[in-house]
């Protein structure tokens, strides 16, 4: 019994940590501004802020939801 409970918690913790890592990475990418002499539009409307960061954040939230809803065998 204890071994199966440990595997269940271990799997949930892995999903939870993956979700937390993806959220941190997504917010870092969202806040990151490329260096150089760029205009306002190039920094605010950059592809990594409009496309990459939201996809990573959504994936992180999904991983956290999966970690809550996953059941043991």
For residue 52, is it within any domain? yes
For residue 1, is it within any domain? no
CA 69 to chain CA centroid, nearest Å: 17
CA–CA separation, 16 and 10 (whole Å): 10
How many CA atoms are closer than 13 Å to the CA of 52, on its beta-carbon side?
Answer: 13
pLDDT at residue 47 in the model: 87
Residues 11/70, Cβ–Cβ less than 8 Å: yes
pLDDT band at 5, cuts 50/70/90?
low
For residue 3, is it within any domain? no
For residue 36, is it within any domain? yes
pLDDT, tens only, 27-60 = 999 988 777 767 777 777 888 889 999 999 999 9
Alpha helices in 1-73 (DSSP H): 2-31, 40-44, 47, 53-69
For residue 55, is it within any domain? yes
pLDDT at residue 6 in the model: 62
pLDDT at residue 10 in the model: 84
The domain tally of the chain equals 1
pLDDT at residue 4 in the model: 63
For residue 8, is it within any domain? no
Domain of 64, in residue numbers = 19-69
The residue-averaged pLDDT of 2-24 equals 82
For residue 51, is it within any domain? yes
For residue 33, is it within any domain? yes
């Amino acid at each position: 019994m204890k071994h199966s409970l440990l595997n269940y918690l271990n799997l949930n913790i892995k999903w939870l940590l993956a979700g937390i890592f993806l959220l941190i990475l997504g917010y870092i990418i969202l806040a990151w501004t490329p260096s150089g002499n760029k205009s306002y539009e190039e920094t605010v409307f950059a592809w990594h802020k409009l496309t990459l960061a939201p996809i990573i954040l959504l994936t992180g939230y999904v991983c956290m939801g999966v970690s809550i809803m996953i059941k043991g065998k």
